[in-house]
A and B are shown apart, each in its own frame.
Chain A
Amino acid sequence: MTDKDLQEQMAQFEAARITAPVELSPQAVGQIVAVHDGTDQDASVDALAAAMAERAAVKLQTITPRVTDEDAAVAELLAAAGKGDVLVVPSPFGRDYLAEGQLSLSTTIDLVLAKSEAAICVVRAPVEDAVETIMHPLVALQIDRHHKVQATSLALTFAKNGGEILLLSTVDPHNRVRDEELLARNLDPGDLSPEVLSGLATARAAALTAELQRHAGDWDLTPMVHFALGDTVELTLEENENRKGLLVAGRDPDARSEEAQRARRLVLASSSPVLLV
């Protein structure tokens, strides 16, 4: 038994002292809108949208905007789905992902991400089993911590009734100056031992963990929580490598923000679909 074991154990108990409890429930979805662009991504978009509509028990609508007119396409996409809806979009818009689109999201998708009030599921690489994918969501809590409750609620909608939801809580010790919670704690760099950071990662997920575990039986799902230290995007991709689940994260409409940049990096690098809430 070492001091590290003690620190780790104490951090767990500290995390259990929840100062701001959250209320969690599967989010009601208005409709699922599948977007076709005539590319290789259409099949996966269709499969995912159908699976989402079925699991959320809502209407599925399919639209095919003009790929040649960017402004018109953006307008059509924004008009098709509003607050409470889920827009399932191919990326890059109008180009085959496998042939030429791995380095870009496309301007259309960037604009939709910035302007739409709907949750957006970005589909890039082919999806093998759409139902399994959405029933095993991974919620990356630190992509945008301000929207983590919304992200988890929407993930619950698809994972409930037999699925498995994984919450990933991370702390990046190399990005300390950009981490508001770390800065707020006013810790000396010398105090940032892996045990202290793991404690913070645990604390960040504590309220959601508690709520999720408490109601897991009611929702008939298996919740899991993992904690990791390092770059949030890299850790999320690493964690999802074998699961191949739907990645779910918050989304800041301000494209220049740290959160929006992280979400964009995640979508670009992920081979699984990413649902940004």
Chain B
Amino acid sequence: MLTAVQEVAHEGGVGSLPMAVLGLTMLGTYALIATGKLHKVTAALLGAIACTILALLFGVLDDYDEIHHVLAKDIGVLGVIVGTSILVDVSGKSGLFQFLAVKIAKRAKGDPQKLFTSLIILTVVFVSLLTIAPGTLIVVSLGLVLCRTLKLEPKPYLVGIAISANSGALVTFASGICTLMVGSAAQLPYMHFFVVSTPMAIATAMVAWFVVKRFYKQDLTGDPATAGERADAVAAFDEWAMVSDRRLFWRSAILLALTIVGFATAQPLGVGLDFVAMAGGAAAILFSGQNPEEAIKKVNWTVIVFFIGLFVMIGCVEHSGLLQKAAGLLSDISGGSVHIATVVLVVFTAVTSGIMDNIPVAATMIPIVATMTEALPAAPLWWGLTISANLGGNGTPIGSISGVIALSALAESGGGKVSWGEWFRVGAVCMLIQILVVLAWLFMFTTFDLYPSLTPIN
């Protein structure tokens, strides 16, 4: 049966039909994810199954073993996610980050504007160290408790956290899942992030701070008459109450620092980031005395399975040649200009990342950009993809996990809802300015050839 269909496919011209069918299957899957008709994991797995069957039927894949080669390419990303999840869980339990969060928030002395600034800084720092979901969760929780204590409107704070979290994901190679995916595929060295991406994290977080603060100006002013009361209320928070195990507290801090040093030195040492992350995770289990079963349960298996589905599906589509055609189209539009290609890529990625989960967008764009770099300079395109896939999430309330966490927490806590219209006026405006800043930054790097040199991908 399989051979017969493959023969028919070959006779009918294997080029366009498999491409069209596989492309439509992938788009259908993305539509299911974007509309929420199916859970994203279910949709990705169904897409993967459908694409595998179609690819085998059309002879796009010579045999099933090719699927394993597709997955092998991305195994490093999965390793980093597993290792860092364990490490982050142990650090979270030690109270280290909660301790720091309260200590920093107390410095605002209950002043609404200073508190807003503190929460934005905390978000960027925590996301950069813990990745987006756990980092956002800690700051959102603190923000809600502080707002309740100080009788402040929580909306501006949570919207600010949601938007600035996507900037935090740009700080290092391992700060965000999209960053990690693109960084791994492009083999971007860890230290290069501090040159190209970290300044953008800071600049775009400042944009978020400015836009959100301006938009919610009324809600961020406290009554001067109650300033003393607010200061007392914040002073009543005791950061030491959150440290349940002092040994674990220090061990977590040391392990986290060592893991970051490990990430920075992985490439010169000739090991992958997944090795460093797994070593960090293993050390965390060993030195925390935590039950390994409990630690492993905290790994974000949803993301891992989602990835497996996506990687298989995109691998099949890539084998059909469709993504290479898309790359050719983008290159044609740019007319060979790296500036135009960067603009097209950044805008397209940012907009699509706003409409749907940014992980599938980044996963799909990686093979496209890889093809584009055969004809155009690689660095602006890879950095453009990394940054825009993260910041694109600010375009809509469902565009990024930080937005979803912050807005659902806001609604749950009775802090009100943020309508799509309201989000567009603050989040989308923010994203627009952020993208302009990023484009200017990338143009400057391209024009003056400031990018650290990349090793060509094999």
Chain A residues with CB under 8 Å of chain B are 1, 3, 5-6, 9-10, 12-19, 21, 202, 206-207, 209-211, 213-214, 216, 222-227
Contacts and interface: CB of A to CB of B under 8 A. Distances in A.
A209 B145 contact: no
Contacts of A17: 145, 149, 233, 236-237
Contacts of A214: 240
Interface string B100-126: 011000000000000000000000000
Interface string B212-239: 0000000000000000000001001111
B138 A9 contact: yes
Contacts of B236: 17-19
Contacts of B237: 13, 16-18
Given A1-B405, A3-B412, A6-B412, A16 B242 contact: yes
A19 B95 CA distance: 20
Contact of B242 (A5, A10, A12, A19): A12
A216 B241 contact: no
Contact of A213 (B98, B102, B246): B246
Given A1-B405, A6-B412, A10-B145, A16 B241 contact: yes
A224 B94 CA distance: 10
* Chain B CB within 10 A, most for which of A13, A15, A210, A227: A13
B141 A10 contact: yes
Nearest to A19: B236
B246 A15 contact: no
* Chain A CB within 10 A, most for which of B134, B243, B401: B243
Nearest to A205: B241
Nearest to A214: B240
Interface in B84-102: 95, 98, 101-102
B246 A222 contact: yes
Contacts of B134: 1
Nearest to B148: A14
* Chain A CB within 10 A, most for which of B240, B241, B405: B241
B238 A21 contact: yes
B37 to A, nearest CB: 21
Contacts of B241: 15-16, 18, 202, 206-207, 209-210, 213
A18 B102 CA distance: 12
A224 B141 contact: no
Nearest to A1: B133
A105 B404 CA distance: 58
A226 B243 CA distance: 11
A216 B145 contact: no
B266 to A, nearest CB: 28
Interface residues of B, number: 33
Contacts of A216: 246
Nearest to B405: A1
B380 to A, nearest CB: 34
Interface in B234-285: 236-247
A213 B241 CA distance: 8
Contacts of B142: 13
Contacts, number: 87
B41 interface: no
B145 A210 contact: no
Contact of A224 (B245, B409, B412): B245
A210 B412 CA distance: 29
Contacts of A13: 98, 101-102, 141-142, 145-146, 237, 242
Contacts of A202: 241
Contacts of A15: 241-242
A21 B405 CA distance: 33
B351 interface: no
Given A206-B238, A209-B244, A210-B238, A14 B412 contact: no
B132 to A, nearest CB: 10
29 contacts: A1-B133, A1-B137, A1-B401, A5-B137, A6-B140, A6-B409, A9-B98, A12-B98, A12-B141, A13-B101, A13-B141, A13-B242, A15-B241, A16-B237, A17-B149, A17-B233, A17-B236, A18-B237, A19-B236, A21-B238, A202-B241, A209-B240, A209-B243, A210-B238, A210-B239, A213-B246, A216-B246, A223-B246, A224-B244
B51 interface: no
B240 A213 contact: yes
B181 interface: no
B178 interface: no
B234 to A, nearest CB: 9
Contacts of B101: 13
* Chain B CB within 10 A, most for which of A10, A14, A207: A10
B290 to A, nearest CB: 12
B442 interface: no
Interface string B387-421: 00000000000000100010011001000000000
Contacts of A19: 236
A222 B238 CA distance: 19
B339 to A, nearest CB: 39
A207 B140 CA distance: 23
B378 interface: no
B144 interface: yes
Contacts of A16: 98, 102, 237-239, 241-242
B84 to A, nearest CB: 15
Contacts of A10: 141, 144-145
A261 to B, nearest CB: 29
The 3 closest A-B pairs by CB, nearest first: A9-B141, A210-B241, A210-B240
A6 B141 contact: yes
A17 B145 CA distance: 9
A91 B242 CA distance: 38
* Chain B CB within 10 A, most for which of A6, A16, A225, A227: A16
Given A13-B102, A14-B145, A225 B409 contact: no
